[in-house]
Amino acid sequence: MARPLVKAILQPTAASTRLVLATLPYPTPAEGDYVIKVQAVAPCKDERGWEQADPHFFTKPRDRVPCIEGSGTVVSAPSGSSTLAPGSDVFFMLDAGVTGALRQYAEVAASGVSLKPSSLSFSQAAAVPLSAVTAWQGLFEHGPLDPTAVQDGDAAARDRARHANKAIRVLVAGAAGGVGSWAVKLAAAAGATVLGVARPAKSELVRSFGAVEAVDYAGAEALSGHHKGVDLVLDTVGGKDGMRQLWGAVKDDGLFLEVGDGNPDSVRPPGKKADSKWYLVHTDADQLQAISRLIDTDGLRPLVDEVYPFEKFEAAFEKVDGGTTRGKVVITVN
């Protein structure tokens, strides 16, 4: 029997940024995949250019549907003891390089799916997964913070971890953005001392996320002398000039992590000993679950710039790529 068709937005070729309304067959899930009735998705800045910029992430055949994070309701679950039942409300992220979620139904690998925070709407929840998990991995997987401080379980162990994290100074650049705002919130929730770099107009916002100090981009370099440097720089902006400046802030035994455009090593000052790397986020259902719990228990919230209906997809992408957003843009689907 022919599979029913579902509405989807397609990018016809990697070279074109034009998006078109189309139909695709109802998803056929691979083993280990959920099928999710999509409620809302969040586009990423410049995502229509990813395939041209990094073709080696896009080698598998796929329909070129954008948006790799969203929220929705489970229609069918993979077999296994720890699966979420059909009818569960979830939020999710996909690896770049697979068919995205800007369609009515999507297949999503179990490694990227968790129960939606019950205190968030579908639109709010769609704005969380990619940014928050990227921030989580920078702080707790690549960086020196102990995640025990924000995890469920033994309260004494949590207090010990918070105490240890308190000695760690973290500088987040792009602190008002999607990834940056989560990095500030999660690092502060874990007990670290957080400084946020943002435009002066966003200082108040950055402090409201939990930063003890908001620093203007022009002042980041001066942190080396002024505050004896930081243990971790997490830069979400990139660019050679910005990275050069941030090198000034990191201690010699510290770490410089980058998720934006460029590799810090390419502008490492002579003699600077700190470690550095660019990293790529990966899906992790346990991390997503921990973030979901923190949202419900600690009241952490995503910053949503604007919510667009499905048929206004072009306007939503224009807004994201225009670089003037304050938080995430969301597109509702069903």
Binding site for ligand NAP (CB under 6 A): 44-45, 130-131, 134, 174, 176-180, 198-199, 202, 236-237, 259-261, 280-281, 323, 325
Which residue, 59 or 324, is less far from ligand NAP as judged by CB? Answer: 324
Determine contact, residues 292/115, Cβ cutoff 8 Å: yes
Least separation in angstroms between residue 175's CB and ligand NAP is 7
Which residue, 63 or 305, is less far from ligand NAP as judged by CB? Answer: 305
Least separation in angstroms between residue 279's CB and ligand NAP is 6
Which residue, 25 or 322, is less far from ligand NAP as judged by CB? Answer: 322
Least separation in angstroms between residue 322's CB and ligand NAP is 10
Which residue, 93 or 295, is less far from ligand NAP as judged by CB? Answer: 93
Least separation in angstroms between residue 308's CB and ligand NAP is 16
Sequence letter at residue 146:
D
Least separation in angstroms between residue 187's CB and ligand NAP is 15
Task: Give CB contacts under 8 A, 24+ apart, made by 135-138.
Answer: 135/179, 135/180, 135/182, 135/183, 135/185, 135/186, 135/234, 136/182, 136/186, 136/287, 136/290, 136/291, 137/279, 137/281, 137/282, 137/284, 137/287, 138/179, 138/183, 138/234, 138/257, 138/259, 138/279
Which residue, 77 or 198, is less far from ligand NAP as judged by CB? Answer: 198
Which residue, 141 or 296, is less far from ligand NAP as judged by CB? Answer: 141
Least separation in angstroms between residue 179's CB and ligand NAP is 4
